[in-house]
Each structure stands twice: as structure tokens, then as C-alpha cells.
Homo-oligomer: A and B are copies of this chain.
Amino acid sequence: MAIKGNLVVGQSGGPTVVINQSLVGVVEEALLHADIQGIYGSRNGLEGTMREDFIEMRKQSRSTLDDVAETPSASLGSCRFKPKEDDCRKIFEIFAKHNVRYFFYIGGNDSALSTGIIHNIAKEKNYELNVFHVPKTIDNDLLVTDHCPGYGSAAKYVAQAFMGNDLDNRALKGVKIDVCMGRNAGWLTAASALARTRADDGPHLIYFPERRYTLVQILEDIEKVYLANGRVSVAVSEGTPDLDGYVFLESDRIRAELKDLKMESIVGVMDASGRVEEESGGAKKDAFGHTQLSGTGALADFLAAATKIHMFRKTGKKIRCRADTLGYAQRSFAGVVSPSDALEARECGRAAVRAAVTTEHTSGSIILRRHSSTFGKYLCDCEVAPLEDVSGVNFPKGMKQYRPMDDKFIAVWGNDVTSEFIEWARPLLGPLPTKGLLEDYPIK
């Protein structure tokens, strides 16, 4: 609710190409409300707050803000810092010292969690602090919201990459595997299907973290499509379960076999040490206890090698097998932005400030609610959800604190999306590039 005081805004977690839209949304809306005095940007999220490292946002010119809004990655700097209870108390003390009455944290579900802890401390101290979480993640795995700002643009990048991949694979036939980000949710990998326009367009196979596959299953799928179609484009989520285990357990065998077949120079095989902890057999965790999935080409290289061997065994031919790991470009490539994603990210920032200055809420997470209109036109607006519902902090133990893909969006056979997914996701990307293929008029 409206109380005179200062505002702090911060950005957290992996960047997106529209996270600065949300930042500028917070700032430009804050400029409209007389109760909000200083507008402080906290550098590197709450890490900056801990060391009182703030910059003045009121002094930024309109043209700076306009340019920053269109610029990928977190302009205030980001962090991978998950404050403990003690850190949150220190952050609260700093807020109180600076008469901060408004705090906006743009990030994923860990940011919602940190925001909630700080809010509780303020309540306990009887200090009026309006705290709001502004959603952001390319993984699209936040609870409650229809989808997450950042997803549409990352999905557009992935769709355009697969469009190019598919055309490349048409021109030079073979097996092409691409590993996509998304942690334990398949949303971003599923976006690989969104540029398909013809029945034979790739990706022809999509593997999701939400389903389990054996390596043999995947290789047989690839073989089947290749034999029918003469080529295959495959999308694999970095979080697809068991695959890390295969990389760990089977790299030596694959390497030895490649050597036997004198194919060792054709594709690389990763040692598993990059992705799997030998001691525990489990994968490495990051600061938040999440499994670290990105950052190496291990899975892609392993799959290309395993496919190469499988296809040689089945066909007697050395089939062209290539794999790419799409990498950081998915979250920060400059110049591929979904217009609706940019707009919604901006609007989420503004909506958070509007919610904070009303009497209805002193905390919450901004969510996007989708409305279906009679004309099937896509329409979303912003609402406020309780922080606890978004952070999942009060969930019963064992319940997922993130949102996996809905069952209805994954084909029953597990290696493709459904048309419902296409319908749901397509409006989030905006226009895709032109695609034309020559008509087949053979000459006798």
C-alpha cells in the first residue's frame, strides 16, 4: 500500500532478453507515484543490497531507459545468490536504514522465495514493506502464471534455430541432434516444434525431461525416422532424465567401440566427469541445489557418437551425425525478441508497482492470466498471486516446486508435442521468418 519511502529493484538468476523490460517497467511506473521517493537499482540482485551497492534510477535519461529496455541480459547485473534467513535479516536492516518501503525482485522461483522471507521479517518487525516478485525465466517453469516473461523470446530463438537446422538437414541429409536448455521442464525444448509448417519439417523427435527414455529407445526412434525419411532432426532437453547417467556409464564403451569401428575421428565422445559426480552417482548441484545441466557439450557429443555407432550397426553405413548444444544464445542472443514477450515483461514490471501502491496487497508475485476471447485472439493480463504459491515454499514435501509441461502438451508416445501445445505457445513468439521450398517439378 502507498507509504512514503524509497524503492529498491533488483534482477536475479540467468538473464533473458527481456528482463530489462521488466526493470524499465518498474522504474517508469514508479516515476508516476508521488509516494515513491528514491528509486534505487540494486546491483547484482540482493548481493548488491547486502553491500549497499545501489544506483540511482531517477537520474537515468529516458533514452537510456528506452535503450536498456531493448537490451538483452540484466543491466543491473544479476546473481546466483540465495540469501539464508540471516542474510534476509541483514537485507531487512539495510532496507529499514534506507527507508526502503518498496522492493521489487525480478527473477525465478528462488527470487519469489527470498522476497517472501524478507516480507515476513518486515511483518514481524511491524515495518511496512511492499515486496513484489516479477517473474522471469526462459525455462517457463514458474508455478501459477500462464507463462513466464523471457520464455517467448527464448522460444523464438529455439524455433528459429530449429527452422535453420531443419533446412540445413534437408540440404545435407543425416542425423542432427540439438540439446536445448530448460532444466527439468521441457517448455524450451518443445519450442523447437514451433517453426514447423510442413508435414516433413523437423524436429522429427523431441525428448522431454517430463518423460523417461532408454538410450536404446532414442536410438531406435532415430533409426526409424532416418530410414523412413532419409534424415532426422532431433531436439533433446538437457534435463532429460537418465541421459546424464548414460553419458557417465557408457562413454568408455562408446569410445572403445568408435575406435574399433575406426570412426573415432568422426564425432567426439565426452568423458562423463563434466556432468556427473563420481562419488554420488548424482549430478552436480548449483548454489540453489539445482542440478547443473548446461555449460558443456557432453550430452550432445555422446548422443552423436552413440547414434553414429547404432546407425552403422543397423545400416552398415557411416551416416552423417552431428550435434550442437544450443548454449547461452538461448537466453541472451541479441536481436531475436518476441514482441508480445517484450510487452508482457514490461507490463509485469509496471503491474508490480501498481499493486504495491494500492491497499489491496503488501506482497505478491505478478502472474500472467490468459483470456480466451470469442475470436480466438491471444490476450493476457497481469494479476497478483501469493508469493508462497509461486515459490512453492508451503508445498508438501516431495511436491514439485516448479511447473513441468502439462501432460496434454506432450504426445502420448512421448517424443513429440501435441497440436494443443502449438496452439498454446505459438502466440508467445510473434512472427517467424519466411520459409519457402521449391516445388517438385522433376524433369524427365
| A contact set with B: CB distance below 8 Å | 11, 14-15, 17, 38, 40-41, 44, 53-57, 59-61, 63-80, 160-161, 163-165, 167-168, 170-172, 176, 195, 251, 255, 258-259, 264-271, 273-278, 283-284, 292, 294-298, 300-301, 304-305, 322-329, 331-336, 432-443
Min CB–CB distance A157 → chain B (angstroms): 9
Query: Which of chain B's residues have a CB closer than 8 A to the CB of A56?
Result: 441-443
Q: Is the CB of B70 within 8 A of A434?
A: yes
Instruction: Contacts A333-B160, A435-B334 given; indicate if A440 touches B55 (C-beta within 8 A).
Output: yes
Contact call B40/A443, Cβ cutoff below 8 A: yes
Contact of A329 among B11, B324, B432, B439 (CB under 8 A): B324
A442 to B54, CA, bound (A): 6
Bound-state CA distance A167–B298 (Å) is: 25
Q: Give 22 CB contacts A-B under 8 Å.
A: A15-B167, A15-B171, A55-B442, A61-B439, A66-B436, A68-B436, A69-B436, A71-B434, A71-B437, A77-B172, A80-B172, A259-B273, A264-B273, A266-B284, A266-B292, A269-B271, A270-B298, A270-B301, A297-B298, A326-B329, A334-B433, A334-B435
Residue of B nearest to A268 (CB): B274
Residues of B within 8 A of A437 (CB): 68, 71, 75
A15 touches B67 (CB 8 A): no
Please provide the 8 A-B residue pairs with the shortest distance between their CB atoms, ordered closest to farther.
A297-B297, A268-B274, A67-B436, A268-B296, A324-B327, A265-B284, A73-B167, A164-B332
Residues of B within 8 A of A176 (CB): 328
Beta-carbon contact of B296 and A296 below 8 Å? no
Given contacts A255-B271, A268-B270, could you give 9 more A-B pairs where the C-beta distance is less than 8 Å? A54-B442, A55-B438, A59-B441, A78-B172, A161-B333, A176-B328, A268-B273, A268-B274, A334-B433
* B258:A268 contact, CB within 8 angstroms: no
Q: Give Cα distance in the complex from A264 to B298, angstroms.
A: 13
Which residues of chain B are within 8 angstroms of A57 by Cβ–Cβ distance?
Answer: 438
A168 in contact with B332 given A271-B255, A274-B269, A301-B274 (CB within 8 Å): yes
Contact in complex: B296, A71 (CB < 8 Å): no
Check B41 against A438 for contact (C-beta < 8 Å): yes
Q: Smallest distance from the beta carbon of A308 to chain B beta carbons, Å?
A: 11
**Chain B: CB-nearest residue to A325:** B297
Within the assembled complex, what's the spacing in Å between the Cα atoms of A275 and B304?
14
Q: Known contacts A273-B259, A325-B325; decide if A436 and B71 are in contact (CB<8 Å).
A: yes
CB within 8 Å for A328 and B332 given contacts A268-B274, A271-B269 = no
List residues of chain B with CB within 8 A of the CB of A297: 268, 270, 296-298, 300-301, 325
